[in-house]
Structure 1
Amino acid sequence: MTQHFESLSRIKCQALHAKVMSAEQAAELIPSGATVGMSGFTGSGYPKQIPSALAKRIREAHDNGKAFKINVWTGASTAPELDGALAEADGINMRLPYQSDPTCRNKINTGQMHYMDIHLSHVAQYAWFGFLGKLNIAVIEVAGIREDGSLIPAASVGNNKTWIDQADKVIIEVNYALSEKLEGMHDIYYGTALPPHRKPVLINEPDDRIGSPYYQCPQEKIIGIVVETYDRDRVNHFSEPDEVAKKIASHILNFLKEEVRKGILPPNLLPLQSGVGDVSNAVISGLQHGEFDNLTAYTEVIQDGMLGLIKSGKLKMVSATSLSLSPDGVDELNENIDFYRERIILRTQEISNHPEVIRRLGTIAINGMIECDIYGNVNSTHIMGSGIMNGIGGSGDFARNSFISFFVRPSIAKNGDISAIVPMVSHVDHTEHDVQIIVTEQGLADLRGLSPRQRAEKIIENCAHPDYKEALWDYFHRAQQSGAQHTPHILSEALSWHDRYLKTGTMKK
């Protein structure tokens, strides 16, 4: 097979050259009904050619009247070449644990695709426990294969180590667009064990290394290697934060300054974690020009803003599981990769999101939400209670275990027809017990140490948009006129705002 390809320079293990094949041939090795663990985390490190070839094969099967669907497990969201292509071909039966593709979302919300939304720290251990069923095939993007057969990870790690270990068979896609100098940036931990034989994960600082730079895979498990890939990740084009995001970031930064003044936080804060999006970018931008130095991060995803903080010297070390960079960010990384490799560690997501490690390090977590109710329950996954947006991701891993945790979003959406603060959330992902601080552009509500009624007063006064504040106060005051008073509600009205929106297109009366 090897004579059909110009270059095998990334496959240094001679014994594996005989397994090189085209993407189409690799796709033929994946049968209908298979459960496939694919690499990919937040638009980074996913296979590019094999999913597209598989989608074509699935469409041809459907055209011939044959059923063909697979179950797809990943680290997190991927890209149109994977999630989009397979969903458009109606080729996915079950998807987990996180997605952000519009076609996938539509298939899930119309009942054409099953979806299991799960905390990212749970995925690998659930696979090891056998809770998810048998994993048949792993399809993993790598930057190269070493002489001894070990695999050089790509721009994300996610659940790849577990997929390789658990799958009966493995297909490798070697991406020649990746810098070979990624080698050495990763820390793949092989010390996890099943209960009752678990031991502590010995990370005491974000820069601690506890594993190997490489994946290990028995050569006999590898059934195909694709070397046709020269495509970059389909990553985000980040725009400058708007005024709303800047206001939210300002509230957070001012709060952190005050916590330092009180002696609650050290002058260089604690390791940072932030989700993907405009608000996190705005916070990073504020840190770039702020008073905090010698910062660290223990997070999931590294975006462009963190590269800027590293380059300026503000951020001395970042631990994550994925690089999710714009094209300019990729160029910056590649041009200065020797510098960044000493300051970035990419780990498996079961370690990047490990509750024990998060609690020990005392991270400062900043994550987005869809809505929050007046008592502090947060919905981060569902629109109007029933329709999935993306998934819970790692927000729950960090919210419950961090030293300080923020949930953020603008106070209104859909041109003011939706309020982010409602009497009762239509779906609960993070209960009031796990929610510390709510932030909108209107202000910040510190809920630590407060009873439910005290939380309601803080959230309504500080975070609600003026168009909805009076109605929220009215609901809260009337709810206190009858019934139990620990968490006052009017059950006949608690979800009336969502019902009104579905019927009239606005939450406003």
Structure 2
Amino acid sequence: MNERISNEKLRGKIMTADEAAALIPNGAQIGFGGFTGSGYPKELPQALANRIKAAHERGEEFTVNAFTGASTAPELDGALAGVDGMHYRMPYQSDPTLRKKINDGTTLYTDIHLSHSAQLVAEGFMGKLDFAVVEAVRITEDGNIVPTSSVGNNKTYLDMAEKIIIEVNSWQSPDLEGMHDIWNGYLTPPNRPIIPINNVGDRIGDTFLTIDSDKVVAVIETTDRDRNSPFKPIDDDSRAIAGYLLDFYANEVKHGRLPKNLLPLQSGVGNIPNAVLDGLLHSDLENLTSYTEVIQDGMVDLIDAGKLAVASATAFSLSPDYAHNMNENAKNYRKSIVLRPQEISNHPEVIRRLGVLSCNGMIEADIYGNVNSTHVMGTRMMNGIGGSGDFTRNAYISAFVSPSTAKDGAISAIVPMVSHVDHTEHDVMVIITEQGIADLRGLAPRLRAQKIIDNCVHPDFRAQLQEYFDHSLVTSKAKHTPHDLRHSYDWHLNFIENGTMKLSHYR
């Protein structure tokens, strides 16, 4: 580890995870590194969970407030939630154990736009940050930190925390050094300058995180792998959705609204985005760029094929094979990949300037184009809004995608009125399911409704939704956005009561 911990002063802080966990008191506010299962601390959270569990067994109160970049992994979110160790959590999560604790009321959770979360901490709104716990490729001779496979909110947490704990992970490739771009000019208003990014690949900062080494109280040596889950095979629905989106982009190029190499691409994580990337791989498009949150398998394929010139993100979200490839070949990918703090990767100013094309998933959309991306049946938190709002509101063209049904056909993804609104009709330009595409740009509400019903709804629900819309046109006194408020949530209520959104009759 000598070459990984090059600062002599911080080599003197090396200790076990259990020893470091003993430094954290009940009620501590902790900023953890990590984003989408990449670059998160792995040993300290589990040691802290063991300590919390032992305290609870003695009848003692012990919880912490946990801030992260986005989702982490079972070794962090799952471990702490599993022992009822999280009193509060923000800004995004995807762990099933933590999700259960949020929905049963054990853990308080704030779902925050990812571009906003660091600012809330930096301005002191979230209170004093006691600890920053981050993962590093190495500690430099000057005592600075080279990040690993994500940056997330690390910079802000390191700046604001009273104490710092560093996990130096030798599994992470030393060749990641040089891939990161850490800008130190991001300030709170009124001192905030323009972010000087005019092209996706612009580098504006350092390749390391600058820290106050006097704040470091522990250094932990680890060899633990990131949680890299394999992606599901691309199914027919995902290919169909990807095909509609790529055809849409081609039509925009044909009409001169997009350049031949498109504009910078952003996509959420999952099966459909990977299908889109696979479609781009087999297209005749070249010299593509991506300004997004995460680097996925499909982007690596595009780089390898010479089709993706540069990708800017804040983290990797790779399958195990692709993570191994990145570790083995990080030096070769440094020229094509930039990893930035998420307050820069997700910043509205840069997204709007570059003209990003956004594509994100959803739980449901309604007939007027409002989108719910967070709450199942309006009350049960799934994961969170993540960066979808950052990109949707500021994109050159914003798209939402989803299969038209869920739960083996019991749920329709297109409903009369969404049970929770994350993205309003004003921000949603395109909706796509495997049934088709609805380009909503410039359409008045009644025209949007009919286009969504005709193009995006599954046949099993199309007549039912048409009946709702037709009835609303008759019964609603206001004709601009007609709804029958007595029956707007019949579909959701019927699912809760009977396990299906299919109605036996229109109420």
- Greater CA drift, 123-132 or 185-194: 123-132
Output one character per residue of 1:328-385: Cα deviation in whole Å (capped at 9) or x when no partner.
1012212322210111000000000000000000001110000000000000000000
Identify the match of residue 243 of structure 2 among 239, 243, 250. 250
**Equivalences for residues 96-175 of structure 1 within 5 A:** 96-175=90-169
**Equivalences for residues 331-350 of structure 1 within 5 A:** 331-350=324-343
CA–CA separation in structure 2 for the residues paired with 1:243 and 1:277: 14
CA–CA separation in structure 2 for the residues paired with 1:160 and 1:470: 50
For the residue of structure 2 that corresponds to 1:336, the secondary structure is helix
**2:360 alignment counterpart:** 367
- Could you tell me which runs of 5 or more consecutive residues in structure 2 were left unpaired when the two chains were aligned: none
1:271 matched to 2:264? The reply is: yes
**Equivalences for residues 102-501 of structure 1 within 5 A:** 102-227=96-221, 229-482=222-475, 483-501=477-495
**1:13 alignment counterpart:** 7
**1:4 alignment counterpart:** none
Give the CA deviation at 1:8. Answer: 3.3
**2:27 alignment counterpart:** 33
CA–CA separation in structure 2 for the residues paired with 1:270 and 1:223: 45
CA–CA separation in structure 2 for the residues paired with 1:68 and 1:113: 13
For the residue of structure 2 that corresponds to 1:66, the secondary structure is coil
1:82 matched to 2:76? The reply is: yes
Give the CA deviation at 1:196. Answer: 1.2
- Could you tell me which runs of 5 or more consecutive residues in structure 1 were left unpaired when the two chains were aligned: 1-6
Letter in 2 for 1:496: D
Give the CA deviation at 1:21. Answer: 0.5
CA–CA separation in structure 2 for the residues paired with 1:465 and 1:133: 48
Give the CA deviation at 1:61. Answer: 0.2
**1:3 alignment counterpart:** none
Output one character per residue of 1:199-245: Cα deviation in whole Å (capped at 9) or x when no partner.
11010001001110000111111011001x11110112013210000
Identity %: 58
Output one character per residue of 1:292-344: Cα deviation in whole Å (capped at 9) or x when no partner.
10000000000111000001000010000001111110122123222101110
RMSD, aligned α-carbons: 0.7
CA–CA separation in structure 1 for the residues paired with 2:50 and 2:37: 21
For the residue of structure 2 that corresponds to 1:318, the secondary structure is strand
Is the CA contact (8 Å cut-off) linking 2:228 and 2:323 kept in structure 1? no
CA–CA separation in structure 2 for the residues paired with 1:9 and 1:199: 37
TM-score scaled to structure 1, two decimals? Answer: 0.98
CA–CA separation in structure 1 for the residues paired with 2:427 and 2:398: 9
For the residue of structure 2 that corresponds to 1:104, the secondary structure is helix
**1:70 alignment counterpart:** 64
TM-score scaled to structure 2, two decimals? Answer: 0.98
Q: Between Structure 1 and Structure 2, how many residues are aligned?
A: 502
Letter in 2 for 1:201: I
CA–CA separation in structure 1 for the residues paired with 2:331 and 2:99: 39
For the residue of structure 1 that corresponds to 2:426, the secondary structure is helix
Letter in 1 for 2:85: G
CA–CA separation in structure 1 for the residues paired with 2:207 and 2:104: 42
Output one character per residue of 1:145-168: Cα deviation in whole Å (capped at 9) or x when no partner.
010111100100000000000111
Give the CA deviation at 1:9. Answer: 3.0
For the residue of structure 2 that corresponds to 1:480, the secondary structure is helix
Letter in 1 for 2:362: M
CA–CA separation in structure 2 for the residues paired with 1:239 and 1:384: 25
CA–CA separation in structure 2 for the residues paired with 1:92 and 1:495: 34
